Amino acid sequence: MSPEPASSEVPSLRSLITGYETSQVIYLAARLGVADHLAAGPRTAEELAETLRLDTGALHRLLHALAALGLVSHLGGSRYAITEWGARLRDGVPGSLRAVAILSGDRSYRAWGGLLHSMMTGETAFRSVFGTGTFEYMAAHPEIAGFYNEAMGASAAERSAAVVAAYDFSRAGTVVDVGGGHGALLIAILSAHPAVRGILFERESAAVGARARIEAAGFGGRGTVEVGDFFRSVPSGGGLYLLSHIIHNWDDQRSGHILANCRAAMSRQAKLLILEQVLPERFEPSRAAVQAAMADLHMLAITGGQERTAAEYGRLLGAAGFTLGAVAATAGAESLIEAVPI
């Protein structure tokens, strides 16, 4: 029998096989609001079960698992308190990952269960499980769409500092954030560069939240929100066009439409900046490689898109009227891919 990879960055095979158990425990804690109900202080399993209308014995066993993971502290008997780490599962607090946990444990978990279908057909697992595409599904299920927007906002907030540190936005003039969600990245750019103006371009469902957040951050005078569909057109007049975690959602044909619409809106002096995880040309055991490979499979499971290598981005950009420029790593998992119009 061959030994497991020697790299200390790779978890044991058994822990990989049973990884879903941990993700489901965290999902249950987030969905049930355990962290929110422990925020005011320690409580017993019996008290929580009565408040949440749950079975006491089952909840007690879940709390044991959460304590073993370090998300709650077991104070003895049936009393539990939230930990600093577990507090990130609270709703609405800075750095909250509650929406990420719920989206991962519900929609994504179910879709990943359909990946065998993808292996046999090349089709998106989500459609085989739910009978529709992921964005159509969210349009029909506002609660899931809300978790999605919150999760994307949390992810954008986490990566914003790394992006702002890795690229000089000061000479952009006007940044057009295409598909910018609730505006976390654009807000970070406007905060770091007082001379820069911003346009966030989104669907109406996301634009409402984006307007509120931009105004609450104090950038209503420099940041505007426009509503539309990037498969049809994008706003013109920007000095820098930003696509953050957009292109990986789509296959080459639909990605090409988005890029072509950006090119049509841009002057020859403008630049395009794509923020995505760039796949390595060669995969070897490491945490970074695992993250990249799983991100690529996630696109197959959820949207039908894909992560790409730098060379693949070069070909995609070339077909849309761009020349690939620098590809710069950020402090996070993503890279900044700069392109200029031909």
Contact 270, 235 (CB under 8 A): no
Q: Coil, helix or strand for 19?
A: helix
Cα 154–155–161 angle (5° rounding)? 100
Backbone angles phi, psi at 38, to 5 degrees: -100, 0
Within 10 A of 338 (CB to CB), how many other CB atoms are there? 18
Tokens of 30: 């987030």
Which amino acid type is present at position 20? Y
The candidate with the shortest Cα–Cα distance to 302, out of 100, 103, 108, is 108
Q: What count of residues does the chain have? A: 342
| 248 catalytic per annotation | yes
Tokens of 294: 């799983």
Cα 298–302–304 angle (5° rounding)? 95
Set 193, 245, 248, 298: catalytic member: 248
Contact 74, 80 (CB under 8 A): yes
Which amino acid type is present at position 65? A
The residues assigned a catalytic role are 248
